[in-house]
Structure 1
Amino acid sequence: MAKTKTKMVYIVLTIGLSVFCQQMIVSNAIPIDHKVLDTNQDMKTQFDLTQRQTISELKTMLSQKTTKFDEFFRELLKTSKRDFHQMFLQTYGLLYERHSSIFTDMFKDLEDYYSSGSVDLSDAMDMFFHRLYQKMFQVLNSQYKFDDKYLSCVSKHMDELKPFGDVPKKLSQEIKRSFIATRTFVQALNNGKDVIKNILEIPTSPECTKALTKMSFCPQCQTSNEFKPCAYYCLNVVNTCLAFHSELDKEWNNYIDALMLLATRLETSFNIESVVDPIDIKISEAIMNFQENGGAVSNKLFESCGKPHIESKRETRDVHFEESPKFAEQPYVANPTAATVTGLDRLIQDIKKKIKKTKGFWAQLPQTICTDKHISTLIAADNKSCYNGSDFYEIDNKPESHQKSGTELNLETTRHNAIINQQNLTLKLITNKLIQAYNGQDVDLVDNADTDMETDGSGSGSGSGYGAEDNDYNLVQNNVVTDDIYFNPSTPRTPYFTVEGETNDQKSKNWSKSPKPNSPFMGKDSSFKSTLSLSLILWTLLLNYSCFYMRQRL
């Protein structure tokens, strides 16, 4: 009876030995020698390089477009300011020079709004026209003496009298909508670049590294060195490695759509060039409106605020703005600049063309990586043998028949990646700002410092990417604050992978189970126990030798 049992044990162990060793080799359960790993890092290294280069190209494009648009607008504003000064100096001469601070302050407010968003454009333009109104009233009535109290009364009646006609209302509205749209657009481009910079901070997880190493190592486990990973096997592995990246696709596409909408507005009704270029003409028109109605306006103010005191008994001459511009014999011509040569329409069309191509970028990233020229050389081409992670195939014209890899990885989706969560939130907030600007609404874009329009193509960054939602969202921020309200610090920050099959808990339970007393292998026959113990020892030695031999063949 004992001999029969012993034979049965040997038969079972022999069959199990063959299956076990083969499966261990194919599935990489046998630890891979570190020297072998060192020589099989091509796939992992190339994956990292290709992924970083592909994402960095998108970052570089946004950075370059941000810088171009920023430079264009600053040059446009600088040119407009210079042309304004030259025109008013030639038109109004000394009178303009005496009160030029009113106009330089207006341009400073516009520059400050664009740079930091710290200026309320409605208040700034309202203050400008009130100051201009008071100065013009004093100039047109220079024979009188006005104190601060009287001038305050004059200001209160400005909206009622409309001395400048409809120019203040129209110009203020045009400036506000165009400047808000322009600044929101350039800041959205800049923040899109920052989102990508933070994405580049996500490291390749150890589980992904193992999968990539296996993809390049396992084909070499066989006698033939011609086997390469199947194309769909590469796609499966990279899809899993970049599973969190694909979660960006929806919010990224919404962000691109909103950018396209606002860009169209900037080409038409919110065209900043059509507002800034002729600003000197429009303000001059407002001044001439006041000149024409100066007498009637002054009389109404005298009735409402009282008759002012005459400054002196001497005869005063009328001092007023010229009714028509008197330019010099050689009229001033602006020097060609980047703004005048390039043209806003051409610039925006170029930006729209580039950003439109990035829709679906994150969803297509695995395909882009696997078809990259550097990666594709490591992947099996059509009509050649390939490896899918557990088996070998001859690729035919119906690849779907074997596109299920035996070593696909499972991603623990409950473990969210904090960097991706934060960037999705950032994209949502930016998109909302773009929609607000598109609808002509106020956009809260306040920053305490000048905007940093960084241009780099390295794809590197220093942002941690772990941030909390700020109720007063700052679209200009370049650094993301620490602490993530959506992430438990005790949770691992890298995606967690497991190999399909038995879980660790199940393995622990199975290995911890002790044989029951009534087991046929736990009889009272001591000779059988000795035989069984010897059999197990021999089987273990045979297993180690066989697996070692199979590995040496690699």
Structure 2
Amino acid sequence: LLSLIGSYLIPSCFTVGSGEHLNMPTQASCPICDWLASDPVCFSIGPGEHLRLCPQDYTCCSSQMEETLAHQSETDFLSAIDDTSQFLHTTFTQRHRKFDEFFRELIDLSEKSMNQMFTKTYGRLFTQNANVFQELFVELRRYYSGGSVSLTEVLSEFWSRLVERVFSLVNPQYQFSDEYLECVNKHAEQLQPFGDLPRKLGLQVSRAFIAARALVQGLATGRDIVNKAAKLSAGAGCVRALMRQWYCPLCRGMPSLRPCHTLCLNVMKGCLANTADLDTEWNNFIDALYQVSEKLEGPFNMELAADSISVKVSEAIMHMQENSIATSTKVFQGCGSPRLTPGRSRRSPKESGGNRRPFRTFSPEEKPTTATGTNLDRLVSELKERLRPMRGFWVSLPHTICNDKNMAADVTNEDRCWNGQTRGRYLPDVTGDGLMSQINNPEVEVDMARPDVRTRQLIMELRVATNRLKHAQAGQDTDFMDSKSPPPPPTQHKYYDWFGCPTLFLEIYCPVGFQSNPNFAYLIKLVKVLLSS
């Protein structure tokens, strides 16, 4: 709308004269009536004593026009926030989808590779026991999808079932009851029939799956945080300031005049005071995402882990086969002699199923790719490039908006801009960032005694998400909450903590930087007075 007024209405309606129109607009300098031609509230030029928001000088605007423009300024502001944050939302949404599709496809390819490899190597022996391997991948998918699954228990259960099957297969001349196989399992931990391969595979798979799940859920959390943070509600003080900077020039007959850059900054910093307080935790969250992505292209590589499942399981089976006599002897000593299979007194011939073939690993050029022709290294590289510019997004949002030529005058145009009253330089200093810095904001009245609960909840969500990502960097399995789940409600207490901030779940409700603010003592008194009244 601002751009429309500046480029469409001005050439036909606005005539630059000697400068007298700065104090009293002329009909030619009042395109507001053309803009609202279909609106019966169009007001002829006259004194502005009726105005509540704009300077009460000669004006083109009626009270109804002023109200209409105030609503429009709020709409423009919210649209600017939405447009500016769109790249965040798009990045998180697209990266989440790409990584999720890729990781799921890796799991599918891993299972397919195992089925093909084991069918060729073990033949009917594998197909008869395929449910053991199918169940492993069912549980791995359930874990990755966010289910309440312990990877340690999943892998332990898999090896327990596998040792029972393989022990029976390498001793076909015996019949084993369920109780006997339980005894075999009890001895397996000490005998280590698969060697050190279960530990190695467990470490590799656990780290990779924990990091992969953490990254995908972290991207979903980022998307949801952006959605919530961008859905602002401009307060009355903010709307008044927006109206004064964007549309009061129009009412004064100066539609081409943009607000001074520093005026715009003060207005935006006041309107976005709570949002700026997300900055510290937001940066920590982005850093944690970046570090987890680096782990995935390094020691926690999901591609290598998925590729290694079939190889290491096959190596484990071969290890047990090669040591079957020694293992069986020790088991028989501990569990007793099993019964011979009726009609069998010696080992049966080995099951035919093709000769074992040596397993190969992929060279970097041969890494498995998804249907889109990408691999993990490329995905991670693209993600890291997109994460870097996200740092400091919320605290720099006022600058991003005010740097738009449709929103404010260029920073070099300090003398030919709207300063809130007329054309000229804007003199007040630019305030700092965040809620506590707005106490001296000359443009926006900000209620610092009541920090925005929604922003404090977002801060808490970011802290929780960052903590999960940091655990994943260490290969630690933590229960990730669903990204859509709201944080637990705060617990209220009727006392003050040691530095005077009311402890209504301190980390959520107390303003960021509360203690370090130079107006700290004054604010403590203010909060106490308000709460005691």
Which TM-score band applies after superposition, normalised by the shorter structure? Answer: 0.7 to 0.9
The corresponding residue for 2:304 is 274
Amino acid at match of 1:477: S
Spell out the pairing of 1:128-527 with structure 2 (5 A cutoff): 128-220=158-250, 222=252, 226-320=256-350, 325-326=355-356, 337-338=369-370, 341-376=373-408, 382=413, 385-390=416-421, 392-393=423-424, 407-445=442-480, 474=481, 476-480=482-486, 485=491
What whole-Å deviation, never above 9, does each CA across 1:233-284 have from its counterpart, x for those lacking one?
0111011100011000000000011111111111111111111013211111
Query: Aligned letter for 2:402?
Result: C
Q: Distance in 2 between matches of 1:274 and 1:335?
A: 9
Calculate the aligned-residue CA RMSD, in Å: 3.2
CA deviation map 1:380-431 (0-9, x unaligned): 87265222224542x5xxx778879995223221211111011100000011
CA distance, structure 2, for counterparts of residue 302 and residue 32 of structure 1: 99
Residues 50-199 of structure 1: matches in 2 within 5 Å? 50-199=80-229
SS at match of 2:445: strand
CA distance in 1, matches of 2:411, 2:240: 20
* Structure 2 residue identity aligned to 1:419: R
Contact kept? 1:109, 1:124, Cα under 8 Å:
yes
Change (3 A) 1:136 1:479: closer
Which amino acid in structure 1 is aligned with residue 420 of structure 2?
A: G
User: How many residues get paired?
Assistant: 431
After TM superposition, the score normalised by the length of structure 2 is 0.74
- Residue type of the partner of 2:202? S
The aligned amino acid for 1:158 is A
Please give the alpha-carbon distance, in whole angstroms, between the structure 2 residues aligned to 1:181 and 1:342.
19
Inter-partner Cα distance in structure 2 for 1:93 and 1:360 = 58
Verify the 8 A CA contact 1:240 1:411 in the aligned structure 2: yes
- Structure 2 Cα separation of the partners of residues 406 and 301 of structure 1: 80
Shift of 1:217: 3.2
Compute the displacement of 1:227 (Å): 3.8
- Closer, same or farther: CA 485–417 of 1 in aligned 2, 3 Å: farther
- Aligned-pair distance for 1:44? 3.6
Structure 1 residue 40: Cα displacement: 6.7
> Aligned AA for 2:128?
R
Query: Which secondary structure does the structure 1 equivalent of 2:232 belong to?
Result: coil
Q: TM-score, normalised by structure 1?
A: 0.71
1:149-190 Cα offsets, whole Å, 9 max, x none, are 211111111011111110011101111111111101110111
Contact kept in structure 2, 1:88 and 1:96, CA below 8 Å: yes
Query: Residues of 2 paired with 1:188 and 1:181: CA distance?
Result: 10
The amino acid across from 1:348 in the alignment is: V
Alpha-carbon distance change, 368 to 322 in structure 1, aligned in 2, over 3 angstroms? farther
Q: Which residue of 2 aligns with 1:505?
A: none
Whether the 8 Å CA contact 1:102–1:131 is kept in 2: the answer is: yes
What's the offset of the Cα at 1:220?
Answer: 4.0
Q: Secondary structure at the match of 2:373?
A: helix
SS in 2 for 1:312: coil
Q: CA deviation at 1:24?
A: 9.1
Amino acid at match of 1:356: R
Q: Does the 8 A contact of 2:368 with 2:375 survive in 1?
A: no
| Kept after mapping to 2: 8 A contact 1:76/1:340 | no
User: In 2 relative to 1, CA 252–225 (structure 1 residues): closer, same or farther, beyond 3 Å?
Assistant: closer
Instruction: Kindly state the Cα deviation for residue 35 of structure 1 after the two structures are TM-superposed.
Output: 2.3
* 1:59, distance to aligned residue in structure 2 (A): 1.2
Check conservation: 2:73, 2:239, Cα contact below 8 A.
Answer: no
Letter in 1 for 2:96: T
Name which one, 1 or 2, has greater alpha-carbon Rg.
1
CA distance in 2, matches of 1:250, 1:482: 21
One-letter identity of the residue aligned with 1:365: L
* CA separation of 1:310 and 1:344: change in aligned 2, threshold 3 A: same
Q: Structure 1's 250 and 148: CA in aligned 2 closer, same or farther, altered over 3 A?
A: same
Supply the distance in 2 between the matched residues of 1:242 and 1:191 (Cα, whole angstroms).
22
Unaligned runs of 5+ in 1: 1-20, 329-333, 446-473, 496-554
Change (3 A) 1:372 1:32: same
Partner letter of residue 219 of structure 1? P
